[in-house]
Amino acid sequence: MDAPVVLISLAGAGLVCAAAASVSFFYGVWTLGAVLALAAVYAGLSAASFAYTTRRGKFAVWRKLLEEQRLTGDERVLDIGCGRGIVLIEAARRLHRGRAVGVDSWRAQDQSGNSASVTRSNARVSGVEDRVDILTADMRQLPFADASFDLVLSSLAVHNVAEAEGRRQAVREGLRVLRPGGTLLFADFQYASEYAATLRGAGAHDAKTRNLGWRFWYGGPFFATYLVRATKPRASESSGMYTRHRQ
Ligand SMILES: C[S@@+](CC[C@H](N)C(=O)[O-])C[C@H]1O[C@@H](n2cnc3c(N)ncnc32)[C@H](O)[C@@H]1O
């Protein structure tokens, strides 16, 4: 479950509003009752949308995104902030000779029950453990050499870095470890245009964002998830801007 506190708050708000609406109707305070009933419906629908996205919707969207990459099966794929491994494992299923590498710092407030051992066990149950590596690392300082991966992915992870400069650092790290000509796909419900601007500033001239649709709403259309897609320029197209700059 992503951000469990948010889902509990939405569901709790729905229940409180529904109870208050019932009391208002009981005492004949019709206008207040109607407003509270509408608020209860809105909070309930938001909670349902959030729960659907985190349990089902994002899986479907990522499966489609990975299909669109037309992987040959021998790529090296990195999932930044892999959590319990939904994207990592979907990528690994398509890598018969390649490797899927997941990094995370395992913050429980961002996803319930996330840990390296849980993700490893999910990979084992899914039959892909032999092609998956799981590491503990901060996305702002990835423990990989430049150009180590063919495809760099991230799902709902970079927004968890509170400071804008930290998020920019994480995005630049994603581009640094990508090989020239490789693709970067970051999905997030916040800061997508910031990521795209950072990628352009780091030399990825084709960085684009798009709305991933209702399956990836974290509580309704106001909390839609956007995909940021970019390719790393080949040596002949770039000025070497994306090599690591330590802070
Ligand atoms: C909402 S979860 C998403 C997990 C997974 N990508 C998914 O879509 O199911 C966000 C993940 O980002 C991780 N995370 C947060 N800050 C991080 C950081 N600075 N470095 C690495 N991982 C981080 C959290 O531990 C959490 O597992």
Q: Which strand (E) or helix (H) includes residue 77?
A: strand 76-80
Q: Report pTM.
A: 0.87
- Whole-angstrom Cα distance, residue 242 to residue 202? 5
Q: Point out the ligand 1 atom lying closest to the alpha carbon of residue 108.
A: 25
User: CB 134: neighbour CB atoms within 10 A?
Assistant: 22
Ligand 1 centroid to residue 22 C-alpha, Å: 40
* 75-118 pLDDT tens trace: 999 999 999 999 999 999 999 999 999 999 999 888 888 899 99
Report the sign of the C-alpha dihedral through residues 208, 224, 242, 75, in that order: negative
Helix (H, G, I), strand (E, B) or coil at 75: coil
- Whole-angstrom Cα distance, residue 213 to residue 226? 8
Amino acid letter for position 14 = G
Tokens of 43: 């909070």
* 30-75 pLDDT tens trace: 999 999 999 888 888 888 888 888 888 999 999 999 999 999 999 9
- Testing ligand 1's pocket by substitution, the residue of 55, 106, 111 carrying the most ligand atoms inside 8 A of its CB is 111
Q: Point out the ligand 1 atom lying closest to the alpha carbon of residue 54.
A: 9
Ligand 1: residues within 6 Å at CB?
Answer: 2, 58, 81-83, 86-87, 104-107, 110-111, 114, 138-140, 155-157, 160-161
